[in-house]
């Protein structure tokens, strides 16, 4: 069992109020926790997420596994209008301790409708924790935190991070705090701030840069909401040069938000910070086209070198 | 081509299933309060429903178990609740037209018998989920009129601290999750609350009110199927007034709410939604089935809005429904009907109304005198996260 499912199993054993909703259920989990708690639902995300809000309003702790983030779009009302409004709208009478898991993209060639990274859209919703772990280990740690959090959390997991996750030895999963970015790799020449799968690509880019004698720090944002502006500003100021890497398209992106916050905080000079976002097109099917659209280790390396040299790359 | 695959056979097969789950009218075999003889007028019971309700686990409590005087007292308590709901709505509309209440008010005038009848049968553990036309359900679930008015007026002492307004009245301590301004969303939430009861093994029901317009919302259709399959302790009450906002329902659907619910696997009953006694009797029987674990039930209550869909600020809608339709339903007003069925003298009915108006005037005056929230309160109640 990988770390993420270890965290889930631990929470299910500890907390009898935890209920897991999904359209497909692991037989092992159903066997251990029973079909009432490991609840098989029809392909009806709108109803499923409202259902989860009801479970939460009644005092239980639902986890909704939406499978793909793509399916979140049919369930936006329960997330935007119900789960994240109930506490406020009732003057604090109800809380909604709901965790939603949703897988983003990883170049699996599932086409324009299946591969999405919609965390910036959700970062606009007040009070919603939006976690985008940069590794399988962080996915487990952030999920463990979510499973004790009294308000809604969405975790966007890149499928490749889970697919390549090693077996976990069963040790308890350390909870990772929300709103704290993490320096994944130290460095002195520039700071690469990355989100989700882009963290892995940035680490690979940092290895390539090291071969050229460039020392790149890599920072995992971990939660895009709340955003750790203080931590990111410290990491930015440490090198004075910042590349923000985001698999989402640029307009109103988390990368744009980070850039704006770091510049207004005077953590970095405007000429010393750049963004690398996806091209503003849907995720294409052909792997060749995908490489053109999304940041990868090579494009990150290229941008980093250009930024350090003061050149522009198109 | 094999004739067995022709369409008519398929249709016949589905009709068989349909008949097995047929919509049935409880009125045929349940004695109803309106058929009880009238009598003297008992003491008016103002106690909120939840303070004096019976144990949720009592078996089917039909009107037949009541003596004549008990039935009259019960009928009078329903009548009193209806009169109070109407007085609340009339006071709320008055406050809106005076500019005291801002935003939208969806009065339930005409629907009172459904709120009074269904909530009359709530057990101590039952939960209620409502929609934007929620004032009647709130009052009948035991919320205090002064705190309700305070919410409509955006006061700090409102049930939602002034953060919800007319469409979202909620009081957790009264097990009233409250209104929802997204059509149909509350039905999915109610199903989840019902599932929670199943998971915890608590014998209770969740009652969810909806309008007939909600039957077009995908989330309701999805939830009906889930509620049927998971045998959820859920009673859905559809207030079928034949209109969705200012559009006649027959312009957008040929199917009745009960037919749709039945087709999706939730046994359905149709009731005269302007007869509080009938509503109470049937809702009580359905709630007993639901609490006993027999699965979800759907109650379609036919009714009509006396006034209109919505008062939006100072804007009162003009007539939008056929005059004769409005007139015909006026003749079936639920309060007047209850008065006739109970043989209540006009003077007594007038006295009930006067008392209710007085109660609501006092509550509204109290709410008007309450302070508005401190502006900084806008920042609170979002999340316990550092934000």
pLDDT tens digits for A122-135? 999 999 999 999 99
Distance from C-alpha of A223 to C-alpha of B329, rounded to nearest angstrom: 56
Distance from C-alpha of B161 to C-alpha of B182, rounded to nearest angstrom: 21
Under a CB-based contact definition with an 8 Å cutoff, are residues A222 and A138 in contact? yes
Distance from C-alpha of A98 to C-alpha of A117, rounded to nearest angstrom: 20
B385 vs A: CB within 8 A = yes
Give me the interface pTM, i.e. the ipTM.
0.96
Can you spell out the DSSP letters for B256-295? -HHHHHHHTT--EEEEETT-HHHHHHHHHHHHHHHHTT--
Average pLDDT over residues A52-78: 97
pLDDT of residue A5 exceeding 90: yes
- Among A55, A57, A87, whose Cβ lies nearest the Cβ of B177? A57
Under a CB-based contact definition with an 8 Å cutoff, are residues B147 and B366 in contact? no
Residue among A90, A104, A26, A103 nearest A56 (CA): A90
Judge: A92–B385 Cβ closer than 8 Å, yes or no: no
Under a CB-based contact definition with an 8 Å cutoff, are residues A285 and A111 in contact? yes
- List B177's β-bridge partners, or say none: none
Distance from C-alpha of B292 to C-alpha of B285, rounded to nearest angstrom: 11
Residue among A275, A276, A273, A308 nearest A294 (CA): A276
Which chain B residues are closer than 8 Å to A50 by Cβ? 185, 187-189, 191-192, 219, 223
Q: Which CATH superfamily is domain B23-373 in?
A: Thiamin diphosphate (ThDP)-binding fold, Pyr/PP domains (3.40.50.970)
| pLDDT tens-digit readout, A50-59 | 999 999 999 9
Q: Which pLDDT does position B27 carry in this prediction?
A: 31
Q: Which pLDDT does position A27 carry in this prediction?
A: 95
Q: Say which residue the tokens 């966007």 belong to.
A: A156
Distance from C-alpha of A246 to C-alpha of A275, rounded to nearest angstrom: 8
Judge: B226–A44 Cβ closer than 8 Å, yes or no: yes
- List A166's β-bridge partners, or say none: none
Under a CB-based contact definition with an 8 Å cutoff, are residues B138 and B171 in contact? yes
Higher-confidence residue of A279 and B386: namely A279
Classify residue B290 as exposed, middle or buried by CB count within 10 Å of its CB (0-12, 13-18, 19+).
Answer: buried
Percent helix, percent strand, percent coil in chain A, to nearest 5: 40, 20, 40
Which chain B residues are closer than 8 Å to A82 by Cβ? 180, 182, 185, 189
- Among B178, B191, B199, whose Cβ lies nearest the Cβ of A19? B199
Min Cα separation B192/chain A (Å): 4
Under a CB-based contact definition with an 8 Å cutoff, are residues A82 and B189 in contact? yes
Q: Please state, for a pLDDT cut of 70, what percent of chain A lies above it.
A: 100
Question: Which residue does chain B place closest to A34, by CA atoms?
Answer: B199
Distance from C-alpha of B280 to C-alpha of B284, rounded to nearest angstrom: 6
Q: Which pLDDT does position B157 carry in this prediction?
A: 98
Distance from C-alpha of A46 to C-alpha of B273, rounded to nearest angstrom: 30
Distance from C-alpha of A78 to C-alpha of B196, rounded to nearest angstrom: 17
**What's phi and psi for B302, nearest 5 deg?**
-80, 135
Question: Which residue does chain B place closest to A150, by CA atoms?
Answer: B384
Under a CB-based contact definition with an 8 Å cutoff, are residues A241 and A307 in contact? yes
Q: Which pLDDT does position B36 carry in this prediction?
A: 30
Judge: A151–B182 Cβ closer than 8 Å, yes or no: no
The encoded tokens of residue B349 equal 């009915």
pLDDT of residue A74 exceeding 60: yes
- Among B194, B225, B382, whose Cβ lies nearest the Cβ of A127? B382
Distance from C-alpha of A259 to C-alpha of A195, rounded to nearest angstrom: 13
Lowest mean pLDDT among A84-93, A286-295, B49-58: B49-58
Which chain B residues are closer than 8 Å to A59 by Cβ? 196
Q: Say which residue the tokens 């049935």 belong to.
A: B24
- Give residues 81 to 110 of A whose Cβ lies within 8 Å of B: 81-82, 87-95
C-alpha dihedral over A111, A132, A74, A106, to 10 degrees? 10
Q: Which pLDDT does position B18 carry in this prediction?
A: 27
Q: Which residues contact A282 (CB under 8 A, 6 or more apart)?
A: A112
What residues of A are annotated to the active site?
Answer: 114
Which chain B residues are closer than 8 Å to A179 by Cβ? 385-386
Angle of helix B112-119 relative to helix B68-97, nearest 10 degrees, comes to 130
Q: Which residues contact B270 (CB under 8 A, 6 or more apart)?
A: B23, B25, B256, B258, B300, B301, B302
3-state secondary structure of B23: coil
Question: Which residue does chain A place closest to B173, by CA atoms?
Answer: A93
The encoded tokens of residue A309 equal 């040299």
The residue ranges of every structural domain in chain B are 23-373
Under a CB-based contact definition with an 8 Å cutoff, are residues A132 and A105 in contact? no
Q: For chain A, state the CA radius of gyration.
A: 20
The encoded tokens of residue A160 equal 């490749």
Q: Which pLDDT does position B386 carry in this prediction?
A: 73
Across chain A, how many H-helices and E-strands are there?
13, 12
Residue among B364, B312, B382 nearest B87 (CA): B364
A15 vs B: CB within 8 A = no
For chain A, the distance separating the N- and C-terminal CA atoms, rounded to the nearest angstrom, is: 43
- Tell me the domains of chain A and their CATH numbers: 3-163 (3.40.50.970), 182-309 (3.40.50.920)
At A314, the pLDDT band (50, 70, 90 cuts) reads low
Which chain A residues are closer than 8 Å to B193 by Cβ? 54-55, 57-58
Judge: B189–A50 Cβ closer than 8 Å, yes or no: yes
Min Cα separation B17/chain A (Å): 22
Distance from C-alpha of B356 to C-alpha of B116, rounded to nearest angstrom: 15
DSSP class of residue A202 equals H
Judge: B223–A47 Cβ closer than 8 Å, yes or no: yes
Judge: A53–B192 Cβ closer than 8 Å, yes or no: yes
The encoded tokens of residue B4 equal 């067995």
The encoded tokens of residue B234 equal 């859920």
Q: Which pLDDT does position B4 carry in this prediction?
A: 35
Judge: B223–A58 Cβ closer than 8 Å, yes or no: no
Distance from C-alpha of B139 to C-alpha of B145, rounded to nearest angstrom: 7
Residue among B282, B265, B269, B192 nearest B233 (CA): B192
* Per-residue confidence in pLDDT tens, chain B, 387 aa: 333 333 333 233 322 222 333 333 333 323 333 223 332 232 333 233 343 333 332 333 444 457 788 889 999 999 999 999 999 999 999 999 999 999 999 999 999 999 999 999 999 999 999 999 999 999 999 999 999 999 999 999 999 999 999 999 999 999 999 999 999 999 999 999 999 999 999 999 999 999 999 999 999 999 999 999 999 999 999 999 999 999 999 999 999 999 999 999 999 999 999 999 999 999 999 999 999 999 999 999 999 999 999 999 999 999 999 999 999 999 999 999 999 999 999 999 999 999 999 999 999 999 999 999 999 999 999 998 777
Which chain B residues are closer than 8 Å to A55 by Cβ? 192-193, 195-196, 199
Choose the mutation target among B128, B188, B208, B386 for the interface with A, i.e. most A CBs under 10 Å: B188
- Give residues 175 to 234 of B whose Cβ lies within 8 Å of A: 177-178, 180, 182, 185, 187-200, 206, 218-219, 222-223, 225-226, 229-230
Judge: A51–B223 Cβ closer than 8 Å, yes or no: yes
Judge: B219–A46 Cβ closer than 8 Å, yes or no: yes
- Among A82, A89, A94, whose Cβ lies nearest the Cβ of B172? A94
Q: Which pLDDT does position A313 carry in this prediction?
A: 77
DSSP class of residue B248 equals E
A-B contacts at Cβ under 8 angstroms:
149
A36 vs B: CB within 8 A = yes
A204 vs B: CB within 8 A = no
| pLDDT tens-digit readout, A121-174 | 999 999 999 999 999 999 999 999 999 999 999 999 999 999 999 999 989 999
Distance from C-alpha of A154 to C-alpha of B116, rounded to nearest angstrom: 40
Question: Which residue does chain B place closest to A227, by CA atoms?
Answer: B387
pLDDT of residue A203 exceeding 60: yes
Distance from C-alpha of A63 to C-alpha of B143, rounded to nearest angstrom: 32
């Amino acid at each position: 069992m990988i770390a993420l499912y270890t965290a889930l199993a631990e929470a299910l054993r500890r907390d009898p109020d935890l209920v897991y909703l999904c359209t497909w259920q692991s037989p092992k989990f159903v066997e251990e926790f029973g079909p009432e708690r490991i609840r098989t639902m029809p392909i009806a995300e709108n109803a499923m997420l409202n259902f989860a809000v009801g479970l939460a309003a009644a005092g239980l702790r639902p986890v909704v596994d939406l499978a793909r983030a793509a399916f979140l779009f049919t369930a936006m009302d329960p997330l935007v209008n119900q789960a994240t409004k109930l506490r406020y709208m009732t003057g604090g009478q109800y809380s909604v301790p709901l965790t939603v898991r949703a897988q983003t993209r990883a170049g699996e060639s599932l086409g324009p409708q299946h591969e999405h990274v919609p965390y910036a859209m959700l970062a606009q919703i007040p009070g919603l924790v939006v976690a985008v772990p940069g590794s399988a280990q962080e996915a487990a740690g952030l999920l463990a935190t979510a499973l004790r959090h009294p308000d809604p959390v969405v975790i966007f997991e890149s499928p490749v991070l889970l697919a390549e996750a090693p077996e976990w030895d069963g040790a308890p999963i350390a909870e990772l705090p929300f709103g704290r970015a993490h320096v994944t790799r130290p460095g002195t020449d520039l700071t690469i701030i990355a989100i989700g799968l882009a963290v892995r690509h940035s680490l690979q880019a940092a290895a390539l840069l090291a071969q050229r004698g460039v020392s790149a720090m890599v920072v995992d944002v971990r939660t895009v909401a709340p955003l750790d502006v203080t931590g990111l500003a410290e990491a930015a100021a440490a090198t004075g040069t910042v590349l923000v890497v985001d698999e989402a398209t640029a307009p109103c992106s988390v990368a744009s938000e980070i850039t704006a916050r770091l510049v207004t905080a005077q953590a970095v000079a405007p000429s010393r910070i750049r963004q690398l976002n996806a091209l503003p097109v849907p995720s294409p099917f052909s792997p060749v086209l995908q490489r053109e659209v999304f940041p990868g280790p090579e494009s990150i390396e290229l941008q980093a070198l250009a930024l350090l040299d003061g050149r522009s790359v198109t | 081509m094999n004739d067995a695959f022709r369409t008519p056979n398929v249709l016949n097969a589905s009709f068989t299933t349909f008949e097995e789950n047929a919509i049935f009218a409880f009125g045929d075999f349940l004695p109803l309060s309106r058929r009880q003889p009238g009598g003297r007028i008992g003491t008016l019971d103002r106690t909120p429903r939840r303070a004096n309700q019976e144990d949720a686990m009592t078996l089917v409590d039909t009107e037949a178990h009541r003596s004549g005087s008990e039935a009259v007292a019960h009928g009078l308590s329903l009548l009193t609740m209806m009169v109070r709901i109407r007085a609340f709505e009339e006071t709320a509309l008055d406050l809106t037209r005076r500019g005291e209440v801002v935003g939208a008010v969806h009065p339930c005038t005409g629907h009172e018998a459904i709120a009074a009848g269904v909530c009359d049968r709530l057990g101590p553990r039952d939960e209620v989920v409502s929609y934007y036309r929620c004032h009647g359900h709130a009052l009948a679930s035991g919320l205090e009129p002064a705190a309700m008015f305070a919410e409509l007026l955006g006061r700090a002492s409102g049930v939602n601290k002034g953060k919800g307004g007319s469409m979202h009245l909620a009081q957790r301590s009264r097990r009233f999750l409250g209104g929802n301004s997204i059509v149909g969303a509350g039905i999915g939430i109610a199903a989840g609350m019902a599932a929670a009861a199943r998971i915890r093994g608590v014998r209770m029901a969740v009652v969810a009110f909806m309008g007939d317009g909600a039957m077009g919302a995908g989330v309701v259709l999805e939830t009906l199927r889930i509620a049927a399959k998971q045998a959820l302790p859920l009673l859905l009450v559809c207030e079928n007034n034949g209109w969705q906002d200012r559009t006649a329902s027959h312009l957008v659907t040929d199917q009745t709410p009960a037919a749709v619910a039945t087709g999706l696997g939730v046994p359905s009953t149709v009731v005269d939604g302007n007869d509080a006694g009938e509503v109470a009797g049937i809702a009580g029987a359905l709630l007993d089935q639901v609490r006993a674990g027999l699965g979800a039930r759907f109650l379609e209550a036919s009714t009509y809005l006396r006034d209109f869909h919505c008062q939006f600020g100072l804007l009162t809608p003009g007539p939008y429904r056929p005059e004769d339709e409005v007139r015909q339903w006026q003749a079936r007003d639920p309060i007047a009907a209850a008065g006739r069925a109970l043989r209540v003298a006009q003077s007594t009915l007038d006295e009930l109304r006067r008392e209710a108006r007085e109660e609501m005037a006092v509550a509204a005056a109290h709410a008007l005198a309450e302070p508005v929230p401190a502006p900084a309160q806008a920042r609170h109640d979002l999340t316990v996260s550092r934000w």
